Structure 1
């Protein structure tokens, strides 16, 4: 059921078995998993059903280097549904190697393994509306799926693993009715600003929540779960007092450290001897879900090269370069000011073009009017008007020439961190300051993987990959920290000296406070985090169901 904000009196105390803070993918997944558990669950969300600039402004903060990190109120949404209101829908699970300690990857290793999440990934797939839990071409398709590079056979790279795509599903819209018709209480418009410790310093006894118009309430629950996103969860802990004069959860100065996103970029030219050998588009599985093959560096190759996880996709030429002579790409460049920031930056970067280059884009548009009409017709039918949207821009170049779009794991680095800045938001909370950094290992991961791919193509003999190895670091930082993948700021581990939560996502310093979301990930994998965020939330819901049912309220 949904509570109206004004139905809760100022100064009131709400009680619950479990208070979930944040109604994004993790919070809503947990609430759905617990709605029939016979527990009193309160789901509290700062924002409402629609975007509110005043609420969104609570996310604002500062960054150490604006070239390397986007403003903090971008790529995430403070509203019911969270950042699923703007996500692209790409789903894929983590790989077994992602959970393992690797002697060449500093601070790697999880206290759980892939086997601990496998029971929850299928349900996570269903909640994300990404179809069956089938992530190879053989599993997902009864019919033969077109090969990405026909005849390419490599022990280092596979082209058989898939990305699957959600609608993309807006969790707030999709699951509103299920929550409305359940015993879960949903309270919108209140932002949790502080967590209060017991006198013994080991137990949360209350959460203070406020509205922008000055009302304040207290939530007294048996257990609390913070599901506010990789940055905001950490911000609340940093703003709450812990034992010994430190922030809550920060007794060993780990909270906020090891901040990761992903390493991403577009580089080089892949030339192939026959256009019919290559397919870089999407196919729909029998359940209607869009799927796409990708190049995935094998675990054995990662270990041999001593690199992080790495995948790549065949991609159209760089949009900003009018030499591609492709009308739809030039049209996208000229329309850059009408494309949402989250996608426009990835499409265009921050490059400024000369008047001559802009004129060439105009010429491309005029010369390829037929191609543009075909592209727009497909986009309107299969993206704008479709319930399950075509995932991204796919342009088949006139000549078989492609760039390589890569996505790679980032090494955990204690000096890459988020801290509290000097400014206060409208609720009196200190804002975040982000200092995102990358390491030499990160550069090595991308360089070594690209070199391996070029070598494997040379062995094959039907294609060539040309790129400038000296440009790799520039290309992997062209867009800075990738998008909304905020990972690792409250990492999971067995030792409180180098982690914030345990294997069940419980804060080491408070026996009834849990964290849900990518903040707890010790490493980032190559995968977009949403599917694993939901799987981890379902696993946590199972744990809490057992814990809270073990004794009466």
Structure 2
């Protein structure tokens, strides 16, 4: 059943066996997995089914350095489906190495093993509509598909890993009917959790305080509560819930909101490949199950351990858009229309120095010189990206010169001083707003540099060509656009010791018997992967943990969401 909070009288106390706060990828996954459990499940969403500017404004806040992090209102959506309403669809699993304690990444090591998450990746991939096949080129591509390069890479570098792409699927629209028809799932939109209230001893959630933008005040009483509100709203809600614990819920050791991670990202250097351009497969391909996939460069686990570096992947990317020397009418057209692009991509182009009138005229000259290229690209982009039900993921261009930059997505080490805190300013519901102070360590930059040097050696030894980058510019190239997108990770991290973590191995808040967290907030480290696929997988794992505890029998989460 789906209803609006507008139809509920103020002062009402809602009751359920399980209350899930937040109807994004994590919350919807968990609700679907629990729908046949025999439990009464209450799923709360602060926004509406469509974007409501007033609800979205509740996410506004401050940033310590606007050059390093976008305003908190960006990349998040307070609506049914959450950020899946705007994501790009990239699905990538974490690597086994990410779960291990690593000397190169202080504070690393998950309290669970890789298999605990990996066994849920097939079902998570299906929910994301990214297929159910392998995340390696050898297992996903049709037999006989040529390799990424004409010669095999070696020296600890591989091009076998790949990323799969969702449609991209908006969980709110895709799974609305399932939620509506689930007999014991009640989804209420337009109602926001403003505080988690504990019993006097602090060991149990007593009730949740709820509020609507029209002034209604409600409560929820539930046997179990799961906060599925994302990597920024989770610490905000925990810190604001300070009636029993003055420092905030789960924050006895000042860990909530700390260790905030995103990913370091940017286009770095120049890869000049020898041989025919047709021998380089740098774009998107279709897997056996019809999903868009793309291969990447990465260091093997053995190579990462040997070099003492953090995790990182690199994609073959076109040269700098702002440099008209690329001779591409399409790239010049993108640069000239940069202020019409989405926030993430527009920011990356608009922040580049345009150099004034002369470079602008060269960009216009590129467009005029190769009009057929631009027309072909626009036709493809309209039909394959905007019209097709499975969207072509991003801009891929013919590369006549066999020259590429490397697009980096790199892990950063968890830092206690990288954090989110509350400020005095409040939103329309009276909740304190957030201040985001995202930081990285110089060692993160050096780690990427060592990994790129290893890629350069591998390319040269394979006889493929030459990769070079300016080490003096590396930090600028990786940070000039700030923290990467909506990868909000680590603010309520998982661990066995309450002095350095917020939740235990089952994602239960330390010291509170009936409160769990489902989001990338619980990731102890970021790895190289976009977090959505692992968020969904961990939500399925949480469903299987809650089954025996709440209804006295095991649950098959994969079967429940099939």
Same fold, judged at TM 0.5 (above): yes
Task: Note the alpha carbon deviations across 1:377-434, whole angstroms, 9 max, x for none.
Answer: 1111211110001011001222111111111111011110111112111100000001
Correspondence for 2:215:
214
- Listed as ranges, the matches of 1:102-501 within 5 Å are 102-183=102-183, 184-241=185-242, 243-274=244-275, 275-501=277-503
For structure 2, the 5+ residue unaligned runs are: 554-562
- Provide the rounded CA distance (Å) in 1 between the counterparts of 2:273 and 2:362: 26
Task: Note the alpha carbon deviations across 1:318-338, whole angstroms, 9 max, x for none.
Answer: 111111110011111111122
How many residues are treated as equivalent by the alignment? Answer: 551
Q: Is the 8 A contact 1:319 1:348 kept in 2?
A: no
- Provide the rounded CA distance (Å) in 2 between the counterparts of 1:22 and 1:514: 13
Q: How far apart are residue 361 of structure 1 and its match?
A: 1.2
Out of 485-494 and 331-340, give the one that drifted further: 331-340
Which 4+ residue blocks in structure 1 deviate beyond 3 angstroms?
Answer: 346-353
- Provide the rounded CA distance (Å) in 1 between the counterparts of 2:353 and 2:170: 32
Correspondence for 2:556:
none
Q: Is the 8 A contact 2:133 2:289 kept in 1?
A: no
For structure 1, the 5+ residue unaligned runs are: none
- Provide the rounded CA distance (Å) in 1 between the counterparts of 2:530 and 2:9: 41
Q: Is the 8 A contact 2:6 2:190 kept in 1?
A: no
Q: Please, what TM-score do these two structures have when normalized by structure 2?
A: 0.96
Q: Is the 8 A contact 1:137 1:145 kept in 2?
A: no
Q: How far apart are residue 245 of structure 1 and its match?
A: 2.1
- Provide the rounded CA distance (Å) in 2 between the counterparts of 1:353 and 1:249: 51
CA RMSD in angstroms comes to: 1.2
Correspondence for 1:83:
83
- Provide the rounded CA distance (Å) in 2 between the counterparts of 1:392 and 1:450: 24
Q: Is the 8 A contact 1:89 1:167 kept in 2?
A: yes
- Provide the rounded CA distance (Å) in 2 between the counterparts of 1:225 and 1:292: 34
Q: How far apart are residue 99 of structure 1 and its match?
A: 0.4
Secondary structure at the aligned position of 1:402 is classed as: strand
Q: How far apart are residue 466 of structure 1 and its match?
A: 1.8
Q: How far apart are residue 133 of structure 1 and its match?
A: 3.4
Task: Note the alpha carbon deviations across 1:276-305, whole angstroms, 9 max, x for none.
Answer: 331101111121100111101111111111
Q: How far apart are residue 244 of structure 1 and its match?
A: 4.4
Task: Note the alpha carbon deviations across 1:163-182, whole angstroms, 9 max, x for none.
Answer: 10000000000000010011
Q: How far apart are residue 350 of structure 1 and its match?
A: 4.8
Secondary structure at the aligned position of 1:445 is classed as: helix
- Provide the rounded CA distance (Å) in 2 between the counterparts of 1:377 and 1:139: 32
Q: How far apart are residue 248 of structure 1 and its match?
A: 0.7
Which residue of 484, 489, 503 maps to 2:505? 503
Q: Please, what TM-score do these two structures have when normalized by structure 1?
A: 0.98
Q: How far apart are residue 347 of structure 1 and its match?
A: 4.4
Q: Is the 8 A contact 1:62 1:72 kept in 2?
A: yes
- Provide the rounded CA distance (Å) in 1 between the counterparts of 2:103 and 2:457: 26
Q: Is the 8 A contact 2:200 2:244 kept in 1?
A: no
